[in-house]
Amino acid sequence: MHSSFLQRNRILATTHELAALLKSQQRVTLVNATTGLEAAAEKHLEQRITHDTAFFDFNLVKDSQNPYPNSLPPLDIFSSYMQKVGVPTNVPVICYDMQGLYSSPRFYTLMRYFGHSNIRILDGGLKKWLAEGREVVSGPQPEVTPQQGDEFNYHVAYEDKFIKELSYMHEVARDLLANKENSKHQVLDARSVARFTGQVSESDARLRRGAIRNSTNLPFTEIKNEDGTFKTEEELLQAFKNHGVDLQNSNRPIIQ
């Protein structure tokens, strides 16, 4: 297995690593990036890893002019929010979510898109941290006081590489419909089988059931363990292979 596939230690931080980092008093910014959990902001105040762990609210940091949910937020909204909650661009970040592994990868992608490259995901999140009996705190969020030298230089760093516009996806969908086996892209859908096949309605009434025709379904539950950690690199490769996803073909990029 080639470590370059996942670059695990560059993307993920173990609970042991985080505990050692906090003990060493090296500066790191923790961000709770939980969404999809009722009253997540309130639960953050009841149970978080450190007093100054920031909470990223996906419901506030969004494009309110876009009719579709989960759209990319404008740079000014993202940048001002990150400054408000105290997440500098020149300090390492470790993000987590309460469910173990759910929305933290989405926050990771946003941070990379907006120019913060020194970020990792806590493998297993708060779920694993608690299961190991590690210390947590509660109480009001302390007032954010920027330290000398803090920078908030958020900018669009990966505009064409990371995010594709809806108009582009329309072209991809037409190509996928006409050329199932030889399409220019591989479209990967990480939702549950029931949502992918349209057996259940979406939680947002604005969204229709079903999926892009000829796209590939690899439910995100198949890439994680019961404790909320990512599966091994060998298991991940096998999961992609089982679902017919070609990771080696650079001529057919993957859109998720």
Q: Can you give the pLDDT at residue 98?
A: 96
Q: Which of 216, 228, 227, 162 is nearest to 191 (CA)?
A: 216
The answer to whether residues 135 and 153 belong to one domain is yes
Q: Which of 119, 136, 159 is the last residue of a domain?
A: 159
Question: DSSP letters along 73-115, please?
Answer: PPHHHHHHHHHHHT--TTS-EEEE-TTSSSSHHHHHHHHHHTT
Is 3 inside any structural domain?
no
For the question of whether the overall pTM of this predicted structure is more than 0.75, the answer is: yes
**pLDDT at position 174 over 70:** yes
Q: Are 211 and 111 in contact (CB under 8 A)?
A: no
- Domain residues for 86? 8-159
**pLDDT at position 163 over 60:** yes
The answer to whether residues 134 and 21 belong to one domain is yes
Q: Can you give the pLDDT at residue 159?
A: 67
Using alpha carbons, list the distances in angstroms from residue 125 to 17, 88, 103, 131, 229. 12, 21, 10, 10, 8
Structure confidence by residue, pLDDT tens digits, 182-200: 899 999 999 999 999 999 9
Question: How does the average pLDDT of the chain come out, rounded?
Answer: 92
CA gap 232, 223 in Å, rounded? 9
Q: Are 253 and 172 in contact (CB under 8 A)?
A: no
The answer to whether residues 217 and 117 belong to one domain is no
Is 2 inside any structural domain?
no
Mean pLDDT score, 73-83: 97
What tokens were used for 8? 């695990």
The answer to whether residues 76 and 46 belong to one domain is yes
Mean pLDDT score, 9-19: 93
- How large a percentage of the chain has pLDDT more than 90? 77
What tokens were used for 205? 């009434």
Q: Can you give the pLDDT at residue 3?
A: 44
Q: Can you give the pLDDT at residue 93?
A: 98
- How large a percentage of the chain has pLDDT more than 70? 96
